[in-house]
Amino acid sequence: MAKTGYHFNAETLSFDKIEITIRKRIGRWLLKLFSGFSMAIVLFVIYYLLFPSPKEKALKWENEEILAQYNLLNGEVERLSNVLSDLKRRDENLHRVIFETEPVVRTTRRVGSHHEKLKRFNNADLIVKTTKEIDTLSSMMRSQRASYDEVKALVHDNKEMLASIPTTLPVALNANTIYLAAAFGPCMHPFYKMLKFHQGMDFSGPIGTPVRATGNGVVESCGNAKGIGNYIVIDHGFDYKTLYAHLEKINVAKGKKVQRGDVIALLGNSGQVSGPHLHYEVHKNGKAIDPINYFFNDLSAEEFDALVEVANNTGQSMD
């Protein structure tokens, strides 16, 4: 049965009766249904784009966690690579400076094609980069092991020499009281205010700080001299000698045999100085050489690296 409706007629200013058929009613209902369905689809798409599903959230969180782990791994690989670089430098010092031999030739394995398989993963650049660094690190470690095997053999054959060579710090470093004040090389003189070549290292500290022999040897001379004040010279043999200057007190006499670690004097400020400190020199074949290359017995790789950095930033000597 048709339903009756009314339509306003603007010309007659009256309502005209119209009949709404079932067909029209179905058409209107279908139009409303289609409009509602379309709106629902639009809202669903908007929700899908703006609000990820729980599964997507879980995957995103998992991906971020993996990425963070790779970043941490990459940072650790970089740290280990720096440590190996320090070990390599110290190892070369052992070979060239101590044993006067050439270090083991290091070869780095070429990057393999297996890295191509990693490019299909998410964050492929980071994964490939980290994998390459790990491969390089592994190759460096194999070379370093071979080098240390050679050092072990050299140590076995040169025990007396290694006991005599000055390979320790003459004073115990302490960040609060005893520290490196001047390095080997050109430094500003504290009195002449001009660059002069500093033949040793200055360790600033309190008067009375124990000064120790850095290797086995015999006291060649000791006493007081102009400029350097109270001093000791130790002949370690194997063409090595060490000088300890500006001492407060001398505990040894000429001709006395000393062992590495023996307290031979007390730190002071005798002679021409700008403050209490120990001036320490290492000589090889009569020539002053940088003592920092001989401190590997006392310092870890990190401590050695930190001392090198400090040495590179010292600008004025204390004597």
Topology classification of domain 166-312: Glucose Permease (Domain IIA) (2.70.70)
In the prediction, which pLDDT does 252 show? 96
Residue with tokens 């052992």: 94
- Kindly give, in sequence order, each residue whose CB lies less than 8 Å from that of residue 17, ignoring residues fewer than 6 positions away: 4, 5, 6
In the prediction, which pLDDT does 139 show? 74
| The residue type at 88 | K
Kindly state the tokens that stand for 20.
């709404």
Q: What is the pTM of this model?
A: 0.58
3-class SS string, 126-162: HHHHHHHHHHHHHHHHHHHHHHHHHHHHHHHHCHHHH
Which sign, positive or negative, has the C-alpha torsion 216, 221, 224, 227?
negative
Question: Rounded to whole angstroms, how far apart are CA atoms 273 and 285?
Answer: 28
Ordered per-residue pLDDT tens for the chain, 319 residues: 555 566 666 667 666 666 667 777 777 777 777 777 778 777 777 776 776 667 776 777 777 777 777 777 777 777 777 777 776 776 666 655 666 666 665 554 444 455 555 555 555 666 677 777 777 777 777 776 776 666 666 666 577 888 888 989 999 988 778 888 888 988 887 777 778 888 999 999 999 999 999 999 999 999 999 999 999 999 999 899 999 999 999 999 999 999 999 999 999 999 999 899 999 999 999 999 999 888 877 777 778 778 888 887 777 888 8
In the prediction, which pLDDT does 266 show? 97
In the prediction, which pLDDT does 153 show? 65
Q: Are 128 and 136 in contact (CB under 8 A)?
A: no
3-state helix, strand, coil split of the chain in percent (to 5) is 45, 25, 30
Please give the C-alpha separations between residue 192 and each of 46, 184, 275, in angstroms, as whole numbers.
Answer: 79, 18, 15
85: left (phi over 0), alpha (psi -120 to 50) or beta: alpha
